[in-house]
Amino acid sequence: MKKPSIVAFIPVRKNSQRLKNKNFLKFYKNKSLLEIKIQQLKQIKFIEKIVVSSDSKKAAEIAKKNNVFFHKRKKYFASSKCSGSDFFRNLAQSTKCDYLGYFPCTSPIIKKKKYISFFKNFFKNKNHYDSFNSVSVVKKFLWKSNNAINYNTYSAPNSQDLPNNFYALTFGLNLISRKKMIELKNIVGKKPNFFTLSKIETVDIDDKVDFEMVKGIYPKLFKK
């Protein structure tokens, strides 16, 4: 049976909101977060094509230098006025493939072994779920308005005994069929398969504190 075609997108905004040019700052061995993500994805044999999606000339230059494709976003789809739903649908409409991967470069602490495990899980279960998304298990005392939602306040458990069925999307690893992504305007399907990452793997670089913290940890985790 023919394997489905998979295109991996790396989304990059020119004007990142909380840390300017975070995707292009030197991060490890004189390489940026974008360059590191491209290198990571090039190691995964299941990916047919890697595409950097951005409105940035710098991103286009990096894509060309690393021999991957570039998708130039139109002004609206690169702006804060664009909703996530509009962005996801446009991204899926911009390519031809069976499945679309979404791998932000702000999640750098995911090793090759974990990517391979994620893809193997996809191939094993793709007929039973409509998307595959990385998550972290939320072990916190959660409230909504004035009500606890994951424990009984009259019989409070220890934190390690809180339920294991509350998840937070990490957005580090995502696969969904192109048709389903256009239909739902999302990278999460109606019947998702959640792939749990460790605490350190869920780190998403959002601001300067995140950047400096992960920059300090990264060499210890990826030293050769």
Distance in angstroms (rounded) separating the CA atoms of residues 203 and 61: 27
Distance in angstroms (rounded) separating the CA atoms of residues 224 and 209: 26
pLDDT top residue among 160 and 24: 24
pLDDT at 192 over 80: yes
Q: What is the pLDDT of residue 53?
A: 96
Region 55-79: what's the mean pLDDT?
A: 94
Q: What is the pLDDT of residue 153?
A: 85
Q: pLDDT of 203-213, one tens digit each? A: 999 999 999 99
Picking from 64-73, 80-89, 141-150, which range would have the lowest pLDDT averaged per residue? Answer: 141-150
pLDDT-derived band at 1, boundaries 50, 70, 90: low
User: Whose CA is closest to 105, among 45, 57, 55, 173?
Assistant: 173
Structural domains in the chain plus CATH codes: 6-131+170-222 (3.90.550.10)
User: 3-state DSSP call for residue 104?
Assistant: coil
Region 71-96: what's the mean pLDDT?
A: 92
CB–CB of 95/75 below 8 Å?
Answer: no
The strand order across the sheet containing 6-12 reads 69-72, 49-54, 6-12, 99-102, 167-177, 131-137, 192-196
Q: pLDDT of 104-144, one tens digit each? A: 999 999 999 999 999 999 999 999 999 999 999 887 888 88
Mean pLDDT of the chain: 92
pLDDT at 224 over 70: no
pLDDT-derived band at 165, boundaries 50, 70, 90: confident
Contacts of 97 (CB under 8 A, 6+ apart): 4, 5, 6, 7, 48, 49, 178
pTM of the model: 0.91
The strand ranges marked E within 63-221 are 69-72, 99-102, 131-137, 143-144, 147-148, 167-177, 192-196
Alpha carbon separation from 139 to 110, 117, 187, 189 (Å, rounded):
21, 24, 24, 24
Distance in angstroms (rounded) separating the CA atoms of residues 97 and 49: 9
pLDDT-derived band at 55, boundaries 50, 70, 90: very high
| Portion of the chain with pLDDT greater than 90, in percent | 73
Q: What is the pLDDT of residue 137?
A: 85
